[in-house]
Structures are given as C-alpha cells and as structure tokens.
Amino acid sequence: MVVFPKTFSQLLVMRRSSLRAVEVAMDSDRTVVVVARRDQQASEVTAEGLYAVGTEASISRVLRLPDGSAAIWVQGQRRVKIAEVIPQDDLFRARVFPLVESAEKTTRSDTLMRAVLALFQKVVDLSPKLPSEVYIAAANADSPGWLADLIVSSLEIPLAQRQEFLEVLNPMDRLLQVSHFLAKELEVLELQSRIHTQVKEEVDKTQRDFLLREQVKAIQKELGETDAQTRETNELKEKVQAAGMTELAQKKALEEIERLATVPAASPEVSVIRTYVDWLLALPWKAQTQDNPDVAQAGRVLEENHYGLRKVKERILEYIAVRQLAKENLRSPILCFVGPPGSGKTSLGRSIAQALGRNFVRVSLGGTRDEAEIRGHRRTYVGALPGRILQTMRHAGAINPVFMLDEIDKVGIDFRGDPSSALLEVLDPEQNHSFSDHYLEVPYDLSKVMFIATANILDPVLPALRDRMEVIELPGYIEDEKLRIAQRFLVPKQLKENGLASGQVGLSEGALRRIIREHTREAGVRNLEREIGSICRKVARRVVEGKPAPHVVSATAVPGYLGPQKFFWGAAEEQDEVGVATGVARTEMGGDTLAVEVTLMDGKGNLILTGHLGEVMKESAQAALSYIRSRAAALGVDPKRFERTDIHIHVPTGAIPKDGPSAGVTMATALASALTQRSVRKDVAMTGEITLRGRVLPVGGIRDKVLAAHRAGIKTFVLPRKNENDLTDVPKDVRQSLHFVFADTMEPVLESALLEGTALHAVGDPD
C-alpha cells in the first residue's frame, strides 16, 4: 500500500527487516520511511525494487501478534525522496530529503477544493463502503494537498496509480487528478444505483401484476362474467367501423384487433397492439370544420389582427373566393412566410385560421435533426410513436386545419437522416393525399390541410422543398407601420397585461417614435413591445406606491423610463468630402446607410480592404478599381499614378460583417472622388453592382434601402435603372420626398454624386 502525508494508516508488518526497522524506530524518534515495492510478487526486498518516493511516518502504536508479526498504526508526515539506501545486517536505512510542496491558497484552489468536495460527498452518499466520517474528515482539510491525499487514501485505486499520485508535488495537479478519479467513481456508482433500482422495481411490478391478474380471474369466475379480453376486442371493432377510416386503414386495424384476441394477456405485445389501434382511432379521418365563405368578414378579421401585410391578406382572401367557386376540387395552398424575427409570421397563421374558421395547430421544427420526428418510428422499436405530423393532426381533431410548420429553415441534418427530405412528401400537393408514416404503415390524407411554413431566411431550406411552397416575403416594418402597430395593438395589450386601464395612461406619438428610433433596432416589433411593456411596468409601480403617474408619456419623458439612447441610425454626411461616398445596405433590422472611405498613400499600387468585408464585397472593390483605372484618362487621372499609390478602402463599423455586390457603385464613386480630388455631395446616396465595363446592375432590398436613405436625410438616391419598378413598394410620401436618378452606367452616378470639376466622357468615346 501507499501511505499519504497527514493520513492515519494501519500496517501489518511481517518481514524480518521491517520488524527490525520498527523496533529501532520505537527506540529512537519513532519515525520510519514507508515506501512501496515495484514488484509485489518478488520474494526478496532489494534497494532497487523500491520506489524512489515514499512517506515519512511516525509510529503511534505497535501491537505484537502471536505469529510474530506486528500491526502498527502510523501517521504520514511528509513526502520524501530516497537519495540512498544503506542495507545493514537486519534492516534497511535510507538517506532521504523532504519534498516540499506549495501550501499557498488561491481563489482557484478554493474553487477547485469546493468542486472536489461536492463530488466526494456524492461518492460517499452512493458508496456502501465509505462511511460518512470520511467526508467529514475531508471537509476539515484546510489545504489543497491535504484534501487530495485524504480522498485518494480512501478510494480503491491500484497501487501503481497511488504511487504516481504520491509523486505529484503540485497540490493543484493532485486535486485535478482527484476530480477525475471521483468523476469516474461517481459514474460507476450511479450506474450501479440505477440498475439496482430498476431491477427492484421490475421485480415488484411483475409480482404485483401477477397477483392482480389472478384476483381478477377469480372475481370474474365467481360472477360468471364473459372474458374481459373478448369484450374489449368487440368494442374496438365497433369503434373502428364507426371511425370513418379508409378501406386500407380499417382492414389493417381489424387485423391487429384479431391478433390482439389471440395474444396472452400477460404478453408485452398486448400494449404494442393496443397503442397502435388507439392511434388509428384517435386520428381524424373524416371530421372537418366548415370554412367561412364570407370574404368580407375574413378581410375584417385579418385587418383587426394585423396591420399592413397587404400581399399576405390578398392571398388568403383570394383562396377563400376561389374556394367558393371550386368547391371540393380546390387543393389547399402551401405557403411559406419569409421574414425577419418579430414580423408577425406565427401570429399571422392564427389570424388566417380565425378568418377561415379552421382549427389552428403548430409544430416548431427548430433544431429537428431526426427524420423519425416527421415520419415516426417503425413499430419494431420499443416505445415507437407516429411522427409529429400525425401527432399534431390528432390534436387538430379535423382533416382540414391550418397547420403551421414554424422555423422550417432551422431544420438540421445528421446521421439519423434529413427531416427536410421527409417534409417533401408532406408539402407536395401531388403526394400528400397519401402520406405514409412509418408507425401507421397506412396512407393518410393531408391534402385538405392548409400548410403554412415560416422561415427567417430561405437559403438553408432545401431547394426541392422550397420549390413546393408558395413563398411570400414579409419585409421589415417601416417606422410609420411600427407606429400604427404600437398604437393599435402593442400599447393596449401591454396596458392590459400590466393591470392598467385603457384610459389610465397612454403613450404619445412622439414617445412611440422615439422608442422606435432610439431604443429598438429591428425589422419586427418584438423589442418595441418589450420597451412599451417596460414603461407600463414602471407606471404601474408608481400607481401602486401612490405616487403621481403620468396620464400621457411624452417623448421627453422616454429617457427617464428607458435610459439613454441605445441605437444610432446612419445619417447623411455633415459636409461634402473627398473620398467619402454614402451607400445603403439591407440588414436584418431593415435598411441603413454606410459610408465608404478611400484614402491614397504613396506606395506600390496595393489595394487594402478593411471593414470586415465578405468575399463578394472584396471582389466588387477590385472591379470598381479596375473600372476607374480603365477610365483614368476620362477622369483626368495620370495612369502611372496607380503604380506608385497604395489605395485603402474602408467601410466603417468594422465589427459588423458586410457582404454583397450592391456597394460596387459606391466604392467606384469614392475612388473617383479620391483620385480626382472632387468632393462627393453629402446628400446623395447610391446602390448598385458595378461591372468592369462600368455597367450598373440591379440589386435587392430597394424598399429598405430607400427608407434608410430617407430617414438619414438624403435628398438624391441613385439606383440601377432595372430597379425602377421596385419603387412601387416604397410608400408614396417617401417617393415624393426623394429625387431618384436611374443609371445604366457609371457616368450618371458620377455626375450626380461628384461636384463640378473635370468633365466626364461617355463610355466608348475615343477621347
């Protein structure tokens, strides 16, 4: 064995040399060096067969035994290293030197000691071999090394590992090793405990079930009743025939019921068959709700519950109108709402169900990685169940609910299959009339279900799945829309939730606008609702405390409730500058302006790009520079200047990733300004992709970008000519307040953005 410092151990001494060493020690200073042997099977002890590190121990008690051996009680003092072993006639003497370890306690050591003690307490509670006094002793250890040695001495660890542990001088390293030992020991003990509990419960349950069955049989025999199992199968057959199942499903159910009648009551197969039949009976096969045929009433419901979202409302009203004409021949649409968080996708599904008069059910697909979540498990598996599609149809209670597949873009894929591929059959109008679930193994009709999927972005969605859905984009709300939503929905809702009467307090229009501009930055209204709720809670507290509460919260009072301004939207440049052009970008929170800065330095023609730019944006910068170099003569720039000048392009807010080709014209304009020393107009913003020939190609997000430019105080907005039709989505008052320049090439862009200077030639001019 291995003796550790500051621990008490009982040793059985049998070897003559060891007994002699004990006698000599008792006659002098009562200390010995306790050291383990390398080879436990060796018959003779040699100096080479001993480990180099042992423990100096003091002998506290010696008990002579009748067979000549002795039991001694020792207390470890300190670690020592053997420098030299000096064999004598009847004992071993050794020259040793103590191994000093650090006793300093730190915050890290205290934390680790607490963690190790917590593990040790769990091990002591579960282990039948460790008394509670061992934990009490460990809890009284006041140093990391002492605690580690005390715990290891109480655990069943092989001698070689104990010796390795003894030779570790750093107390923190020993504590870490102890934590690993305890973690493994705890895992084994917990497994043993679970197995013991499980076995005991199964034995008790089997005995109980047997006794109860025997009692039931005896009671039925005395009463002269028919066999309960036969009566149960007859009832199940009647339910199956009245459920309105398809012919194939009814045949399958009756076969399973017949099999149930032949299986012994004590067999585990009984519960499997019964669960399967119960699932067939629980699913709706014919029951359906009556659709609301009143288009006007449906329109009013949608308007009452949601502000804006014109395209979505039109699509639902079109479906109701066509439903009246097509009757039963119409297939339910499969819609996909795509938009930023908080734009009302999920709540819109509830409103659609209310407008149609249908039941609403929802399944969240976020984080789903197992195909069996959609199609179910086969009945060969223990505890098998249908997939979430049919489980939700059971809750719907009708074959034509509004079925929302939430967060379809968050579906994952791993070794258990691809749930997106399993959804292909669900969302295909040509196939979902006979949807096959692995558990049921009979076709189920989903063609009357109105599926609505939601996603924040479409890119992660499987292309084949995307093709089966009618995608409707829900753009982020503009400021006026957020204001109307807050006035009509959010403020009354928060007043009610916080116990305030509708006339007790209100928020002025200026206050709401200030909250929208300075305290939220989002495309939806989720954070706006939180901020309104925060104000309502503070007002409610003032009311309860008896303090005067404002009847109307004004714009100037908002910082007192919500603190200083949190967000700062992009604004137009304060003055015309050289090498700085204003672009616009679409973010998850809507549109925003961004400046593109260009500076020139003496160098060797290098192009430096900074600002956390993506690969596409870097390529746009390269294309813009190549275009400017090809037009150097027309711009009045010395072509040789590029060879001796380093160009640095920077897009501020460098912590935010940026990508996309729409900043191409902005970079080209900033480059032209820096090289020609012509200032860029501060009230001009632009967007568009640039080609090497100077063509301006269309880009996306025009609505959000125009709104961002308008909010920043821009007067002139330059955009590709092919994006002109996209302005129909921009509010009329915004369109009227901006001057739009439509460009096919870079010449109109530069003419609109750069102040007067060197004349520009058209593309293709020989000069």
Torsion angles phi and psi, residue 492, rounded to 5: -60, -40
Specify the pLDDT at position 570.
Answer: 57
Residue at 700: amino acid letter: G
pLDDT band at 274 (very low <50, low <70, confident <90, very high): confident
Residue 328 pLDDT exceeds 80 = no
pLDDT mean over 343-367: 86
Q: Which residues are catalytic?
A: 662, 705
pLDDT band at 329 (very low <50, low <70, confident <90, very high): low
What would the pLDDT profile of 638-650 be if each residue is shown by its tens digit?
A: 888 888 899 999 9
Q: Do 511 and 531 sit in the same domain of this protein? A: yes
Specify the pLDDT at position 740.
Answer: 94
Q: Which of 98, 123, 140 is the endpoint of a domain?
A: 98
Residue 275 pLDDT exceeds 70 = yes
Q: Name the domain count of the chain.
A: 5
pLDDT band at 228 (very low <50, low <70, confident <90, very high): low
Distance of CA 483 to the CA centre of its chain: 31
What would the pLDDT profile of 69-88 be if each residue is shown by its tens digit?
A: 888 888 888 889 888 888 87
Specify the pLDDT at position 586.
Answer: 80
Q: Do 324 and 388 sit in the same domain of this protein? A: yes
pLDDT mean over 453-476: 84
pLDDT band at 600 (very low <50, low <70, confident <90, very high): very high
Q: Do 629 and 665 sit in the same domain of this protein? A: yes
Give the containing element (helix H, strand E) for 243.
Answer: none
Specify the pLDDT at position 673.
Answer: 93
Q: In whole angstroms, give the CA distance from residue 220 to residue 213.
A: 11
Specify the pLDDT at position 374.
Answer: 84
Give me the CATH number covering residue 657: 3.30.230.10
Residue 571 pLDDT exceeds 70 = no
What would the pLDDT profile of 473-529 be if each residue is shown by its tens digit?
A: 887 777 788 888 888 888 988 888 888 887 788 888 889 988 988 888 777 888 889
pLDDT mean over 369-385: 82
Q: Do 535 and 630 sit in the same domain of this protein? A: no
Q: Do 273 and 321 sit in the same domain of this protein? A: no
Q: Residues 721, 688: contact at Cβ < 8 Å?
A: no
Mind giving me the DSSP string for 171-198?
A: HHHHHHHHHHHHHHHHHHHHHHHHHHHH
Specify the pLDDT at position 679.
Answer: 92
Give the containing element (helix H, strand E) for 57.
Answer: strand 53-64
Residue 598 pLDDT exceeds 90 = yes
Specify the pLDDT at position 764.
Answer: 36
- Rounded to the nearest 10 degrees, the angle between the axes of helix 310-326 and helix 295-305 is 160
Specify the pLDDT at position 240.
Answer: 85
Specify the pLDDT at position 664.
Answer: 93
Mean pLDDT rounded to a whole number for the chain: 84
Specify the pLDDT at position 569.
Answer: 62
Q: Do the domain assignments include residue 610? A: yes
Specify the pLDDT at position 760.
Answer: 44
Q: Do the domain assignments include residue 671? A: yes
Q: Residues 727, 735: contact at Cβ < 8 Å?
A: yes
What would the pLDDT profile of 735-753 be if each residue is shown by its tens digit?
A: 888 999 999 999 999 999 9
Q: Do 457 and 513 sit in the same domain of this protein? A: no
Q: Do the domain assignments include residue 455? A: yes
Residues, the chain, total?
Answer: 767
What would the pLDDT profile of 621-639 be if each residue is shown by its tens digit?
A: 999 999 999 999 888 888 8
Pick from 316-325, 588-597, 690-699 the range whose average pLDDT is largest. 690-699
Domain range for 236 is: 228-282
Give me the CATH number covering residue 68: 2.30.130.40
Q: Residues 41, 20: contact at Cβ < 8 Å?
A: no
Q: Do the domain assignments include residue 574? A: no
Q: Do the domain assignments include residue 191? A: no
Least confident of 213-222, 331-340, 498-507: 213-222
Q: Do the domain assignments include residue 124? A: no
pTM of the model: 0.58
pLDDT band at 327 (very low <50, low <70, confident <90, very high): low
Percent of the chain, pLDDT > 90?
A: 15
Q: Do 390 and 360 sit in the same domain of this protein? A: yes
Q: Which residues of 192-231 are buried (b: 16+ CB within 10 A; e: fewer)?
A: eeeeeeeeeeeeeeeeeeeeeeeeeeeeeeeeeeeeeeee
Give me the CATH number covering residue 557: 1.10.8.60
Q: Do 585 and 723 sit in the same domain of this protein? A: yes
Gyration radius (Cα) of the chain, Å: 40
pLDDT band at 60 (very low <50, low <70, confident <90, very high): confident
Token match 């039709």: residue? 725
Residue 538 pLDDT exceeds 70 = yes
Give the containing element (helix H, strand E) for 540.
Answer: helix 526-544
Q: Do 631 and 556 sit in the same domain of this protein? A: no
Q: Do the domain assignments include residue 203? A: no
Specify the pLDDT at position 763.
Answer: 37
Percent of the chain, pLDDT > 70?
A: 95
Pick from 172-186, 257-271, 396-410 the range whose average pLDDT is largest. 396-410
Q: Do 547 and 494 sit in the same domain of this protein? A: yes
- The more confident residue out of 97 and 138 is 97
Q: Which of 434, 457, 473 is the endpoint of a domain?
A: 473
Residue 767 pLDDT exceeds 50 = no
The dihedral over CA atoms of 655, 658, 663, 668, expressed in degrees to the nearest 10, equals: 50
Q: Do the domain assignments include residue 65? A: yes
Q: In whole angstroms, give the CA distance from residue 59 to residue 25.
A: 8
DSSP-derived pairing of the beta strands 684-686 and 739-743: unpaired
Q: Do 250 and 305 sit in the same domain of this protein? A: no
Q: Which of 98, 128, 155 is the endpoint of a domain?
A: 98
Mind giving me the DSSP string for 639-701?
A: GGGGGGEEEEEE-S-TTS-B--STTHHHHHHHHHHHHHTPPBPTTEEE--EE-TT-BEE--S-
Give the containing element (helix H, strand E) for 609.
Answer: strand 607-610
Q: Do 640 and 493 sit in the same domain of this protein? A: no
- The more confident residue out of 343 and 406 is 406
pLDDT band at 698 (very low <50, low <70, confident <90, very high): very high
